[in-house]
Amino acid sequence: MLGVLVIQQELARRAAMRTDWPVCHRCGARLESRGRVRREIWTLLGLVVWTRKVGRCPRGCAIGHVAPLDNALGLAPCQKTCVSVKTPACLLAVFVPYQVAARILEALTGVTVSGDAIWEWVQEAGRRAKEQAQRGQAAAEEERRDPDVDRMPLILGADGVNAAFRPTPGTAKGKTIWKEIKVGVLARLGHRKGKGGCRVTVLRQRRVVAVRGEVEEFEPRLWGEALRQGLGSARNVAWLSDGGVWLWNLVKRFRDRCPQIVTILDFYHATQNLWKGVEKCFEGQAEAAKRYFEDARHELRHGDPDKVIEGLQAALALADLPDEANRLLHNAHEYLSEHRDHIDYAMFKKLGIRNRYALALRLQSYQQAS
């Protein structure tokens, strides 16, 4: 109650100050005072009530009442709830359904709102974030980081995940509609000593960017967040993803602006495609397939990827391969050949970009959880 009284006294003081009336945006005439009108708004402290001056156009233009104090406070004409209530409500809605968020908010603050109101606030926040990203303000300032974190390699990755939606917002009715969410991850990797003194890679920082939409909407947000995370000053920067065409077109545009980005095909997908080709060539000989695959995987990881590609090429020259085996082997050869510049894992290790396989698994786990 004391907090509400203090706020109301301050608003009364501001309302009593001299007002510089703006001009009508239609006719250009300076607005004239029409007295004071009551205003109220719910805050975390409770209901705040005050009166403020309102003005109208002297020529009768249909612009409604104009309240300069409302504009100075950042209040919309029909706003009933303060951002001090909207912000925690939206944060709660990230983790629980809207109705549950409303009940938790009431229990914590005493402010009663509906689940529908919180849904509207979330949409409003989303629209503001989208407008901000489109204006390029997301990358206005670099995030402050610990100097130790700043010296670590910056890893960027992205992928698409499917999420379930309902046709009618705010209800559980209707057939499920699946839509793709494009997700980007920016991570700083450090190291610590494990058991026996071995070097273990640890995730020191992670930032996530996500968009329900096309790559044209996703790209500026991921680029803006990369700049915020120190893309321009990082000692080592690596792009890590699977072989999706849209991903490599995206990183190509990134490299046009930031040539120091090292592009890496994640080891998981490289070996996955290798295994698909090898398995069919040794159909019925599981142990032989496993031995060949393990040798090829080790060569790919620690040796010369050209030897692995040449081995696949030699296998394709065999005339007695079944059609299905020939097709999968051809796909594996083509996949690794197209990404030849992105699979030199031994060189990446020398550059200080280690343990990409572990990061790939983390990215996969995050996408599945999302």
**Which pLDDT band holds residue 90 (cuts at 50, 70, 90)?**
very high
Q: What's the number of CA atoms in the CB half-sphere (13 Å) around residue 58?
A: 9
Whether residue 242 sits in one domain with residue 159? yes
Mean of the pLDDT values across residues 49-64?
A: 89
Domain presence at residue 237: yes
Band of pLDDT at residue 73, cut at 50, 70 and 90: confident
Establish if 358 belongs to a structural domain: no
155 and 252 in a common domain: yes
Both 157 and 231 in one domain: the answer is yes
Asked if the model's pLDDT at residue 249 lies above 90, the reply is yes
Tracing tokens 């209800």 back to the chain, one arrives at: 171
| Percent of the chain whose pLDDT exceeds 90 | 29
d(CA 16, CA 107): 37
Asked, for residue 234, whether it belongs to a domain, the answer is yes
155 phi, psi to nearest 5 deg: -110, 130
What local confidence, expressed as pLDDT, does residue 135 receive?
60
Q: Is 369 among the domain residues? A: no
Last residue of a domain, one of 79, 95, 123: 79
Q: Name 123's Cβ contacts closer than 8 Å, sequence gap at least 6.
A: none
Q: How confident is the model at residue 46 (pLDDT cuts 50, 70, 90)?
A: confident
Nearest to 46 by CA among 78, 2, 77: 2
Please give the average per-residue pLDDT across 229-236, as a whole number.
83
The pTM score is 0.57
If asked whether residues 99 and 10 sit together in one domain, one would say no
Q: 273 and 246 in one domain? A: no
Domain C-terminal end among 92, 107, 134: 134
Q: Which domain holds residue 292?
A: 268-338
Q: Which of 107-121, 201-215, 346-360 has the lowest mean pLDDT?
A: 346-360
Q: Largest Cα–Cα distance of the chain, in whole Å?
A: 94
First-to-last alpha carbon distance for the chain, in angstroms, is: 42
pLDDT at 366: 38
Q: Is residue 224 part of a domain?
A: yes
CB 246 within 8 A of CB 219: no
Question: Distance between CA 252 and CA 242 in Å, rounded?
Answer: 14
The answer on 103 and 62 residing in a single domain is: no
Q: Is residue 359 part of a domain?
A: no
Q: Which residue has better confidence, 248 or 166?
A: 248
User: What does the alpha-carbon distance between residue 25 and residue 18 come to, in Å, rounded to a whole number?
Assistant: 21
Residue 349: band (very low, low, confident or very high) from pLDDT cuts 50, 70, 90: confident
The structural domain count of the chain equals 4
Q: Which residue among 198, 230, 258 closes a domain?
A: 258
Domain check: are 107 and 68 in the same one?
Answer: no
Phi, psi of 311 (to 5 degrees): -65, -40
Assigned domain for 74 exists: yes
| Claim to verify: residue 11 and residue 58 sit in the same structural domain | yes
Q: 98: which residues sit within 8 A by CB, 6+ positions away? A: 115, 116, 118, 119, 122, 170
Q: Please tell me the predicted confidence (pLDDT) of residue 98.
A: 93
Residues 222 and 317 grouped into a single domain: no
Report which listed range, 2-6, 57-61, 228-232, 318-322, is most confident.
2-6
**Residue 358 vs residues 46, 139, 186, 199, 353: alpha-carbon distances, Å:** 50, 29, 15, 13, 12
* Average confidence score pLDDT of the chain: 84
Residue 285 lies in a domain: yes
Within 8 A by CB and 6+ apart from 54, the residues are 33, 34, 35, 36, 37, 65, 66, 67
Q: Could you tell me the strand order of the sheet in which 237-241 lies? A: 199-212, 177-193, 154-165, 237-241, 262-265
Residues 206, 302, single domain; the answer is no
User: Are 40 and 114 found together in one domain?
Assistant: no
